[in-house]
Structure 1
């Protein structure tokens, strides 16, 4: 029992910050501490299932499942609120969105599916390699790499500016281009 406590204390000490950042990026700083606490509670209860050599992907996957439960719960709550006829306004202020590039990237990211978003976040934000990210997403390494490749293509397409049209007065007839001949 003492070995379990020591192992868990070390697991918590080494990975709490990374798991907190992972959760905060997905659910916000207000909700993240509760989800991270739940994730480490699951880790304590299932300590024999937590990999000894690289536990971070397991912790991320556990946190991801808890976040999924959180989102589904929010969706159920929203449907219930709608049925009751109440209006719920959710305002989230994020000072980082002031930067135009970040706004554009977030907008483009929001246009992607949740699976594409998660594949990109695991690689770019969490810095996981393909093997660890595949563990988090519950797929093979090859499947994750394909998902990441496709997600990157979709993000690039979403970031491309819309084709611009010239105003009608700028479109000149062939005669006008030749000096009115």
Structure 2
């Protein structure tokens, strides 16, 4: 094995160790199926290895972009299979046991998120759950920072409205709670 291959292995090992849990949580929050989430997170890193020469220095948003495409491919494949019942996340189950009021709050946020479009859900998740700034979220979404800022502002507004009106019609079946995304957009993110 040459020195280039050794550097590649060392880079990949470091990226895997540093970001595997974040990528797995990213996938799990969107699927709420632990076993499938593990498989898809592994697939993300298989693709990462193949594309290692194109990886940016700050690679977590890049990994989220790969994960987003892997999830999209999985969703297309799932459409051909019978519908599976979505299970609540471990956080929701733990919250229901430890604090019923907090568990109910998660259920309310799940319902509010379900009422949003997939585009709104994704920008809220990237900023609220994954903790990305607008620039990194824009890279994952494949759009300009200004476009991501507008999407986030509008998605937060729609989420707040959906939380106020819990009987709104659901548009999507995939969701995850995003409590941090309800806060108003700060100018420091501009």
Q: Structure 1 length normalisation: TM-score?
A: 0.79
Report the counterpart of residue 133 of structure 2 in structure 1: 129
Q: Indicate the structure (1 or 2) with the bigger Cα radius of gyration.
A: 1
From 142, 147, 163, the equivalent of 2:146 is: 142
**Which secondary structure state, in structure 2, belongs to the residue aligned with residue 136 of structure 1?**
helix
Question: How many residue pairs were aligned?
Answer: 153
- The answer as to 2:108 corresponding to 1:108 is no
Cα 1:122/1:94, change in 2 over 3 Å: closer
From 85, 88, 98, the equivalent of 1:90 is: 85
Report the counterpart of residue 77 of structure 1 in structure 2: 81
Tell me the distance in 2 between the aligned counterparts of 1:162 and 1:64.
28
Report the counterpart of residue 45 of structure 1 in structure 2: 50
In structure 1, stretches of 5+ residues that fail to align are 79-87, 164-181
Tell me the distance in 2 between the aligned counterparts of 1:142 and 1:32.
31
| Runs of 4 or more above 2 Å deviation | 88-95
Tell me the distance in 2 between the aligned counterparts of 1:89 and 1:20.
20
Q: How much does 1:162 deviate?
A: 6.9
Tell me the distance in 1 between the aligned counterparts of 2:120 and 2:84.
27
Cα 1:67/1:156, change in 2 over 3 Å: same
Cα 1:157/1:51, change in 2 over 3 Å: same
The CA deviation string for residues 61-117 of structure 1, in whole angstroms up to 9 with x for no partner, is 000100011111111224xxxxxxxxx562525561641111111101000000000
Aligned Cα RMSD in Å? 1.8
Tell me the distance in 1 between the aligned counterparts of 2:49 and 2:69.
16
In structure 2, stretches of 5+ residues that fail to align are 97-102, 168-190
Worse-superposed segment, 143-152 or 28-37: 28-37
Q: Structure 2 length normalisation: TM-score?
A: 0.76
